Amino acid sequence: MTCLLPGGFAAAGVASGIKPDGRLDLALVAVTTGPPATAAAVFTENLSVAAPVVLSRAHLLASDAQVRAVILNSGCANAATGDEGVRAAALMADTTARHLRAEPEQVLVCSTGPIGHQLPPRPLESGIPAACAALESSEEALARAARAIMTTDRREKLASASLASGPQVTGIAKGAGMIAPNMASATMLAVLMTDAIVSAPDLQAALDHAVDHTFNRLTIDGCMSTNDTVILLASGVSGIAAGAVELVEGVTVVCADLAHQMAADAEGGTKVVHVRVTGAADDASALKGARAVAESLLVKCSWYGEDPNWGRVVSALGAAGVLFDQSAVLVAYGPEVVCRDGMPVDFDHEVVASYLALPEFELNCDLGLGGGAAEILSADLTHAYVDENMGHS
Amino acid sequence: MTCLLPGGFAAAGVASGIKPDGRLDLALVAVTTGPPATAAAVFTENLSVAAPVVLSRAHLLASDAQVRAVILNSGCANAATGDEGVRAAALMADTTARHLRAEPEQVLVCSTGPIGHQLPPRPLESGIPAACAALESSEEALARAARAIMTTDRREKLASASLASGPQVTGIAKGAGMIAPNMASATMLAVLMTDAIVSAPDLQAALDHAVDHTFNRLTIDGCMSTNDTVILLASGVSGIAAGAVELVEGVTVVCADLAHQMAADAEGGTKVVHVRVTGAADDASALKGARAVAESLLVKCSWYGEDPNWGRVVSALGAAGVLFDQSAVLVAYGPEVVCRDGMPVDFDHEVVASYLALPEFELNCDLGLGGGAAEILSADLTHAYVDENMGHS
């Protein structure tokens, strides 16, 4: 998959040797000429926070959100690494800045991989200059950058949208397991770029809205990560000041596309499921109910087995902590209603079975109480998920 | 396994035909002579609540906590069954009461099994009289009752304790998967009996304390059930008024024993894990932290793989929503420290590996902040859990 790089940006992905098997493991996204980009970012809310997140937060403040580059590595999360880890993250920024003739605080850093291991210095010493030298304003270079941040991902993730006024929004991301609400995944990373002219506050507002409506409504296994980071850079090279509404829409479209790619690439997942709750007392209740269903292990196992076990859905909704009337609830797989007024419906088992055999489907729950509605994107719980996560760290 | 029946009680377990394969599926616990027992109960907090729970709540109130018998079936949860389900539960109580010459409201009802199916009337019509006729004050009869409430359980669960002043406390239980905080399991049922003389308020207080410290600190898959019920009956036949403290202790010991048996029989589980959090700001924070660790899918998979992946533990603690300082946390598998001050410790991998190979072990987390401590009992997430729960309902 390829996507157009917005004006002003270049990208690179190289194999530095952090991953011992020689796969791409170091990515760089940079504005190589002119002034640095305006930047916005959303970081993990986990109190166990990795060194690169600590450093990037500080750099964003120190640079007044003026960012020259983002350097990202896979193969090591640089988390639970203490002061040595912070020094390693700072070294990544310093080395990148030196080769791009930028200030260190104009470089943001992201890491993903196993927790509790120090970053090996050698690969970074040779890899960062190589990545700076490999920077290209090409679709291929961006695709290599997307591949260089993969861990358990099976596919690289890129998405793009054009604003009505002309500028482009393009993003790369990684993330598969451990994706939970509130910017919380075993490392969900995304870097978005636009060539629109945007002020830092408008850029942050657009990113906050997009993250809240996309990545924060994706749950794979409910686990929160130490490293999650979403960064949005605006080069301004198009010369066009994007409208606030089109910017929010464009950034949200790209984030939604990337979130969907993550759901489709969930660790061990075989199904993408849209859990929709309507008829809730309010939108917040609908969201809470949808999340409870999407995070129920029993429900997730039933998706894997293509089993229309709506009893588990009703049970999860009843335990969600929201206004609920068991005699008013409706459950449908896509258009096929299996439970109405809290009671079994005599549904066509063949029709439901062939619907549940689809790789992507909707689980629709109506609480029959009000106008609140929300959707959570999720995946099934499978043997392969257990396989991927039981192994040695 | 057998346990002594406290004075005044009789039990029975019969095969009524609710389960099509002829296994035991109907259990009865009763006080056959003298006045009815004083009763206390704790029910599921799920708002999707099964008919027998609705009925039993009402009967406990209507009888002023004077209970002659508890009738329990497996093979059908009688949940999501509407008015017809409530009538079926009432029929169970009525039929039992008629055969035991009691008032219907002196009979409590419990059901466990798949959701969304009506109870078949035929098996109950013949099975309840058979259970009443089979009532015996023997260890064997109690063991049969314990077997008759099993669903995915691999073993029947019984436990017993003697109070210092003489009376006995004995309980039977079932429950394996779907066990979560707040009396919430895909049907965790327990019936406890004592021959002590106890007032209804003291009995309820003892049960509330015991449930809070045992069943509510057991989590298998975090899912809440529609049917969970714990009932405690006091016949008074010993003629001894138990002291409040010894009663609380005795009931808690029996509940803890039953909860441990449930953890050991977790759906697909291969490990019983004691997650202990110390050094928290307060006990409530410790409990919240321990629960977050015990409910992390990634942590549960690592137990299955016997992988000392403490990074996931630290990440779960950091996301638990409690006061947390990543530079102060210590993680140990039993006595073996693997992370101190949030950093890796150079531990002996062979020693830790052989510890994690045990069928039961401790995961000790110290937050280094205060005096708060708590323990959660849990189990691992395995291929067999997925197998048991992906199948058709």
Where is pLDDT greater, at A185 or B89? B89
Q: Are B34 and B158 a contacting pair, CB within 8 Å?
A: no
Inter-chain touch A339–B315, beta carbons under 8 Å: no
The ipTM (two decimal places) reads 0.88
Inter-chain touch B48–A342, beta carbons under 8 Å: yes
Q: Which of A171-180, B56-65, B130-139 has the lowest mean pLDDT?
A: A171-180
Q: What is the pLDDT of residue B308?
A: 93
Give the separation between CA A176 and CA A173, rounded to whole angstroms: 10
Q: What is the pLDDT of residue B1?
A: 64
Residues 6+ positions from B358 with CB-CB distance below 8 Å: B271
Residues of A in contact with B319 (CB under 8 A): 45-48, 180, 184, 223-224
Query: How far away is chain B from the Cα of A338, in angstroms, using its nearest Cα?
Result: 10
Residues of B in contact with A281 (CB under 8 A): none
Residue A203's SS3 state is: helix
Q: What is the pLDDT of residue A179?
A: 47
Q: Predicted confidence band at A181 (pLDDT cuts at 50, 70, 90)? A: very low
Q: What is the pLDDT of residue A176?
A: 65
> Which DSSP symbol is given to A216?
G
Q: What is the pLDDT of residue A35?
A: 97
Inter-chain touch B382–A386, beta carbons under 8 Å: yes
| Residue B87 pLDDT > 50 | yes
Sheet holding B26-31, edge to edge: B9-14, B26-31, B69-74, B107-112
| Residue A223 pLDDT > 70 | no
What would the pLDDT profile of B196-221 be if each residue is shown by its tens digit? 999 999 999 999 999 999 999 998 77
Q: What is the pLDDT of residue A180?
A: 45
Least Cα distance to B53 among B85, B9, B11 occurs for B85
Nearest to A46 among B302, B310, B315 (CB): B315
Q: Which of A190-204, B53-67, B110-124 has the lowest mean pLDDT?
A: B110-124
B353-372 burial code (b ≥16 CB/10 A, e <16) = eebbeeeebebbbbbbbeeb
Inter-chain touch A315–B389, beta carbons under 8 Å: no
pTM of the model: 0.90
Query: How far away is chain A from the Cα of B387, in angstroms, using its nearest Cα?
Result: 8
- Concatenating the DSSP letter of every residue in B134-155 gives H-BSSHHHHHHHHHHT-SS-SS
Give the separation between CA A24 and CA A112, rounded to whole angstroms: 13
Query: What percentage of chain A exceeds 70 in pLDDT?
Result: 96
Choosing among B44, B45, B48, which should be mutated to test the A contact, i.e. which has the most A CBs within 10 A? Answer: B48
Q: What is the pLDDT of residue B58?
A: 98
| Residue B100 pLDDT > 90 | yes
What would the pLDDT profile of A322-369 be if each residue is shown by its tens digit? 999 999 999 999 999 999 999 999 999 999 999 999 999 999 999 999
Q: What is the pLDDT of residue A393?
A: 46
Q: What is the pLDDT of residue A344?
A: 92
Q: Which residue of B has its CA nearest to A349?
A: B392
Q: What is the pLDDT of residue B186?
A: 53
Query: How far away is chain B from the Cα of A152, in angstroms, using its nearest Cα?
Result: 14
Q: Which residues pair with B264 in a beta bridge?
A: none
Mean pLDDT of B311-336: 95
Choosing among B226, B297, B306, B337, which should be mutated to test the A contact, i.e. which has the most A CBs within 10 A? Answer: B297
| Residue A185 pLDDT > 50 | no
Give the separation between CA A139 and CA A336, rounded to whole angstroms: 42
Q: What is the pLDDT of residue B176?
A: 65
Mean pLDDT of A139-160: 95
* B187 is a catalytic site residue: yes
Nearest to A186 among B178, B298, B325 (CB): B298
| Residue B305 pLDDT > 90 | yes
Q: Which residue of B has its CA nearest to A180?
A: B319
Q: What is the pLDDT of residue A187?
A: 77
Q: Are A217 and A375 a contacting pair, CB within 8 Å?
A: yes
Two tokens, residue B141: 């009869």
Locate tokens 């906590």: which residue?
B65
Q: What is the pLDDT of residue A224?
A: 64
Nearest to B386 among A77, A339, A381 (CB): A381
Q: Predicted confidence band at A390 (pLDDT cuts at 50, 70, 90)? A: confident
Inter-chain touch A301–B389, beta carbons under 8 Å: yes
Q: What is the pLDDT of residue B327?
A: 95
| Residue A233 pLDDT > 70 | yes
Mean pLDDT of A189-201: 97
What would the pLDDT profile of A283-326 be if each residue is shown by its tens digit? 999 999 999 999 999 899 999 999 999 999 999 999 999 999 99
Residues of A in contact with B226 (CB under 8 A): 311, 314-315, 318
Mean pLDDT of A58-74: 98
Q: What is the pLDDT of residue A115?
A: 87
Nearest to B80 among A116, A223, A314 (CB): A314
Inter-chain touch B315–A381, beta carbons under 8 Å: no
Q: What is the pLDDT of residue B184?
A: 33
| Residue B185 pLDDT > 60 | no
Mean pLDDT of A251-275: 94
What is the widest separation between alpha-carbon atoms in chain A? Answer: 69
Inter-chain touch B80–A326, beta carbons under 8 Å: yes
Domains of chain B (ranges plus CATH)?
Answer: 9-264 (3.60.70.12), 272-390 (3.10.20.340)
Mean pLDDT of A85-104: 97
Q: What is the pLDDT of residue B386?
A: 87
Q: What is the pLDDT of residue A184?
A: 33
Mean pLDDT of B26-30: 98
| Residue B143 pLDDT > 70 | yes
| Residue B38 pLDDT > 60 | yes
| Residue B182 pLDDT > 50 | no
A vs B: CB pairs below 8 A: 213
Average of per-residue pLDDT values in chain B: 93
Inter-chain touch B339–A116, beta carbons under 8 Å: yes
Nearest to A315 among B48, B318, B339 (CB): B48
HEC assignment per residue over B40-93: EEEECCCCCCCHHHHHHHHHHHHCCCEECEEEEEECECCCCCHHHHHHHHHHHH
Instruction: Report the amino acid identity of residue B211.
Output: V
- Cα angle B299, B303, B307; round to 5: 95
Inter-chain touch A383–B381, beta carbons under 8 Å: no
Choosing among B43, B187, B312, B337, which should be mutated to test the A contact, i.e. which has the most A CBs within 10 A? Answer: B312
Inter-chain touch A48–B297, beta carbons under 8 Å: no
Where is pLDDT greater, at B198 or B115? B198
Query: What percentage of chain B exceeds 90 in pLDDT?
Result: 85
Q: Predicted confidence band at B93 (pLDDT cuts at 50, 70, 90)? A: very high
Q: What is the pLDDT of residue A183?
A: 36
